[in-house]
Structure 1
Amino acid sequence: MRKLPLNTPTPAHTAQGLAGQSAKHDSAWKHVSGQARYIDDLPMPEGILHAAVGHSQQAHARIMSMDLEAVRRYPGVIAVVTAKDVPGHLDIGPVFPGDPVLADEIVEFIGQPLFAVAATSHEAARKAAKLANVQYEPLDAVITVNQALDKELFVRPSQTQLRGNPDHALSQASHRLIGEQVVGGQEHFYLEGQACLAEPTEDRGMFVHTSSQHPSEVQKLVAEVLGLPIHEVQTEVRRMGGGFGGKETQAAPVACIAALLANATSRPVKYRLSRPDDMIQTGKRHDFFNTYDIGFDDDGLIQAADIMVAGRCGYSPDLSDAIVDRAMFHADNAYYLNQARVTGHRCKTHTVSNTAFRGFGGPQGMMIIEQAMDDMARHLGRDPLDIRKLNLYRPGRDITHYDQTIEQHVLPKLMETLETSSDYRQRRSEITKFNQSSTVLRRGLALTPVKFGISFTAKHLNQAGALVHIYTDGSIHVNHGGTEMGQGLYIKVAQVVASAFQVDLERVKVSATRTDKVPNTSPTAASSGSDLNGMAALDACEKILAGLTDFAVQNWSVSPEAIHFSDNQVQIGDLQMPWESFVQAAYMNRVPLSSSGFYATPKIHYDPESGKGHPFLYYSNGAACSEVVIDTLTGEYRVLRTDILFDAGRSLNPDIDIGQIEGGFVQGMGWLTTEELVYRDDGKLLTTGPATYKIPAVSDCPPDLRVALLADSPNREATIFHSKAVGEPPLMLGIAVWSALRDAVSSLTDYRFSPPLDTPATPERVLGAVTASQAWLGKQQEAS
Structure 2
Amino acid sequence: MTAPLDREHVTAPLKHIRKPLPHDSAIKHVSGTATYIDDIVEPVGTLHVVPGWARHAVRGRLLSVELNAVRATPGVVAVLTSGDVPGTNDCSSAFGDDPVLAEEEIFFFGQVVFAVVAESREIARKAALKAKIKVAPITPILTPEDADHADTTVLPDYQFRRGSPETGLQASENVLSGSMFIGGQEHFYLEGQVAMAIPQEDGGMFVHSSTQHPTEIQHTVAKVLGVPDAAITAEIRRMGGGFGGKESQANQWAALAALAARKTGRTCKMRLDRDDDMIMTGKRHDFKVNWQVGHDASGRIRATDLEFLARCGYSADLSLGVNDRTMFHADSSYFYPDTLIRSRRLRTDTCSNTAFRGFGGPQGMLAAERMIDAIAIHLGKDPLEIRKLNFYDGERNVTPYGMPVEEYEVMHDLISRLEVGSDYWVRREEVTAFNAANAVLKKGIALTPVKFGISFTLKHLNQAGALVHLYTDGSVHLNHGGTEMGQGLYQKVAQVVAEEFGVTMDKVIITATNTSKVPNTGPTAASSGTDLNAMAAKIAAKEIKTRLVTFLCEQHQCGEEAIHFGDNKVLIGDKSFPLSEIAKQAHVGRIQMSHAGFYATPGITWDRDSVSGRPFYYFAFGGACSEVTIDTMTGEMTVDRVDILHDVGHSLNPAIDIGQIEGGFVQGMGWLTTEELVWDEEGRLRTHAPSTYKIPTASDLPADFNVQLYESTGNPEDTVYRSKAVGEPPVMLANSVFCAITDAVASLIPGEVPNLNAPATPEAIMKAVQDMRRRKVPS
Fold match (TM-score > 0.5): yes
Q: Match of 2:426, as an amino acid?
A: Q
What is the aligned partner in structure 1 of residue 667 from structure 2?
667
| CA displacement at 1:748 relative to structure 2 | 1.5
In structure 2, the residue matched to 1:728 is: 728
Mapping of 1:17-96 within 5 angstroms? 18-56=16-54, 57-96=56-95
Which residue does 1:361 correspond to in 2?
360
Match status 1:764 vs 2:763: yes
Q: Distance in 2 between matches of 1:399 and 1:11?
A: 49
The answer (yes or no) to whether the contact 2:483–2:513 under 8 Å persists in 1 is: yes
In the TM superposition, residue 610 of structure 1 has moved relative to its aligned partner by 2.8
Q: Separation in 2 of the partners of 1:148 and 1:344?
A: 13
1:318 match = 317
- Give the whole-Å Cα distance in 2 for the aligned partners of 1:398 and 1:629: 36
Matching residue's letter, 1:356: A
What is the match of residue 541 of structure 2? 541
SS in 1 for 2:429: helix
Asked if residue 776 in structure 1 is aligned to residue 770 in structure 2, the reply is: no
2:302 aligned partner, one-letter code: Q
- Match of 1:51, SS? strand
CA contact (8 A) 1:15 1:568 kept: no
Aligned equivalent of 1:656: 656
1:485-524 mapped onto 2 (5 Å cutoff): 485-524=485-524
Aligned to 2:462: 462
Write the deviation string for residues 642-696 of structure 1: whole angstroms up to 9, x where unpaired: 0000000011100000000000000000000000111011110001110000000
Please say which of residues 581-590 and 638-647 is displaced more in the overlay: 581-590
1:613 aligned counterpart, secondary structure: coil
Partner SS for 1:577? strand
CA contact (8 A) 1:8 1:577 kept: no
**1:9 to partner: Cα distance:** 4.5
Letter paired with 2:33? Q
Native 8 Å contact 2:4 2:574 kept in 1: no
8 Å contact kept, 2:563–2:570: yes
Q: Over aligned residues, Cα RMSD in angstroms?
A: 1.4
Q: Which amino acid aligns with 2:574?
A: D
TM superposition shift of 1:106: 1.2
Instruction: State the match for 1:109 in structure 2.
Output: 108
Match of 2:202 in 1: 203
TM-superposed CA distance for 1:455, in Å, is 0.6
- Once residues 97 and 596 of structure 1 are traced to their aligned partners in structure 2, the CA distance between those partners, rounded to angstroms, is 32
Q: 1:10 to 1:407 in 2, by over 3 A?
A: closer
Matching residue of 2:630: 630
User: Distance in 1 between the 2:573 and 2:8 partners?
Assistant: 16
Provide the C-alpha distance between the structure 1 equivalents of 2:683 and 2:245, rounded to a whole number of angstroms.
20
Deviations 1:199-239 (A, max 9, x none): 11133211111100001100111011111111111111010
Structure 1 residue 11: deviation in Å? Answer: 8.9
After alignment, is 52-61 or 235-244 more displaced? 52-61
SS of the counterpart of 1:203? helix
Q: Calculate percent identity across the aligned residue pairs.
A: 52
2:737 aligns to what?
A: 737
| Greater CA drift, 554-563 or 259-268 | 554-563
**How many angstroms apart in 1 are the aligned matches of 2:333 and 2:61?**
47
C-alpha deviation, 1:394, in angstroms: 1.2
Q: Name the SS for the 1:706 alignment partner.
A: strand
- Between 608-617 and 625-634, the greater mean CA deviation after superposition: 608-617
Matched, 1:333 2:332: yes
1:130 and 2:133 correspond: no
Offset of residue 605 of structure 1: 2.3
CA distance in 2, matches of 1:566, 1:33: 32
Q: Determine the C-alpha separation between the residues in 2 that align with 1:399 and 1:16.
A: 37
Contact 1:17 1:505 (C-alpha < 8 Å) held by counterparts: no
* Equivalent residues of 1:196, 1:209 under 8 A apart: yes
In the alignment, the residues of structure 2 paired with residue 713 and residue 636 of structure 1 have an alpha-carbon distance, to the nearest angstrom, of 42
Matched to 1:338, the amino acid is P
Question: Deviations 1:591-636 (Å, cap 9, x if unpaired)?
Answer: 2211110001111122223322211111111010000011111111
Distance 2:593 2:98 in 1: 44
Is 1:593 the equivalent of 2:587? no
Q: Report the Cα offset of residue 79 of structure 1.
A: 0.1
Find the aligned partners of 1:687 and 1:721 in 2 and give their Cα distance.
Answer: 44
The amino acid of 1:532's aligned partner reads L
Given that 1:162 and 1:611 are in contact with CA atoms closer than 8 Å, whether structure 2 keeps it comes out as no
Shift of 1:137: 1.3
Q: How many Å separate the matches in 1 of 2:470 and 2:8?
A: 20
Q: Determine the C-alpha separation between the residues in 2 that align with 1:568 and 1:265.
A: 50
What is the SS of the residue equivalent to 2:659? helix
Q: Deviations over 1:79-137 (max 9, x none)?
A: 01110110001122112121010010111001000011100111111111111111111
Following superposition, the deviation at residue 562 of structure 1 comes to 2.2
Counterpart AA for 1:439: A
AA at the equivalent of 2:591 = V
- 1:391 maps to amino acid: N
Size of the alignment, in residue pairs?
Answer: 775
Alignment of 1:232-311 (within 5 A): 232-311=231-310
> What pairs up with 1:550-589 in 2 under 5 angstroms?
550-589=550-589
Q: Which residue identity is paired with 1:233?
A: I
Query: For residues 412 and 7 of structure 1, what CA distance do their matches in structure 2 show?
Result: 52
Equivalence for 1:443 = 443
Counterpart of 2:151? Answer: 152
Report the CA distance between 1:17 and its aligned residue. Answer: 5.5
**1:277 shift after superposition:** 0.3
Deviates more, 1:638-647 or 1:567-576: 567-576
Contact 1:498 1:508 in 2 (8 A): yes
Show structure 1 runs of 5+ residues with no match. none
* In structure 2, distance between residues paired with 1:436 and 1:769: 19
Cα deviation, residue 10, structure 1? 6.8
Equivalent-residue separation in structure 1 for 2:3 and 2:590 (angstroms): 19
Q: SS of the residue aligned with 2:117?
A: strand
Indicate conservation of the 8 Å contact 2:61/2:136, yes or no: yes
| Aligned equivalents of 1:635, 1:369: Cα separation in 2 | 25
Q: Name the residue aligned to 2:175.
A: 176
SS at match of 1:606: coil
**Alignment correspondent of 1:693:** 693
Q: Deviations over 1:394-453 (max 9, x none)?
A: 111110000001111211111000000000000001111111011211111000011111
Q: What are the within-5 Å matches in structure 2 for residues 386-425 of structure 1?
A: 386-409=385-408, 410-425=410-425
User: Matched residues in 1 for 2:117 and 2:6: separation?
Assistant: 61
**Alpha-carbon shift at residue 141 of structure 1 (Å):** 1.6
> Structure 1-normalised TM-score?
0.97
Amino acid at match of 1:455: S
- Which residue of structure 2 aligns with residue 453 of structure 1? 453
State the secondary structure of the residue aligned to 1:605: coil
Q: 2:342 corresponds to which residue?
A: 343
Q: Which runs of 5+ in 2 are unaligned?
A: none
1:375-408 Cα distance to aligned partner (Å, 9 max, x none)? 0000111000000011111111110000001111
1:698-746 deviation per Cα after TM superposition (whole angstroms, max 9, x unaligned): 0001111100001133011111111100000000111110100111111
Structure 2 counterpart of 1:163, one-letter code: R
CA distances 1:260-292 after superposition (whole Å, capped 9, x unpaired): 011000011110000000001110101111111
Deviation at 1:47, TM superposition (A): 0.5
1-side partners of 2:556 and 2:609: how far apart? 59
SS at match of 1:393: coil
Match of 1:378, as an amino acid?
I
Task: Supply the distance in 1 between the matched residues of 2:770 and 2:24 (Cα, whole angstroms).
Answer: 51
- Superposed CA deviations along residues 123-166 of structure 1, whole A, max 9, x for unmatched, are 11111111111111112321110001111110000001111111
Partners of 2:612 and 2:340 in 1: CA distance: 12
Change (3 A) 1:10 1:411: closer
